Amino acid sequence: MAKTQLNVRVDEGTARAARERALARGMSVNRYIEELVKQDTGEVGHTFVEAAADFMKQYESVFAKEFDGGAPARAKPRVGEDREGAREGRH
C-alpha cells in the first residue's frame, strides 16, 4: 500500500508522550500514530475478527471432535440458572 505523508502539529507534551509510548512499544512514532488511527476506526478489530473467523472455520471439526465428540456446541447453564437461563427462585 502506498504511503502518504501527513504533517500534524501537536503541543510538546503530546509529542513527548507519543515518542515515549512508541519507544516503549518498540516502534516508530509514525507506526504508533498509524496504529492509533486504525484502532480508532476499527480496522484492527475488524481484521482480528476476520482472522479469528477464518481460523474457526478451518479448525471447526477439530474443536468439535476434541471438546464434544463431534456434536454441535451447547451452552451449559451457569451456577444458579436452570437450562432455560432463568434464575432459580424467580418465576
Give the pLDDT confidence of 41-77 residue by residue, as tens digits.
776 677 778 888 888 888 888 888 887 765 555 556 6
DSSP 12-76: HHHHHHHHHHHHHTTS-HHHHHHHHHHHHHTHHHHHHHHHHHHHHHHHHHHHHHHHHTTPPP-PP
For residue 10, pLDDT beyond 90 = yes
Q: What is the mean pLDDT of the chain?
A: 80
pTM > 0.75: yes or no: no
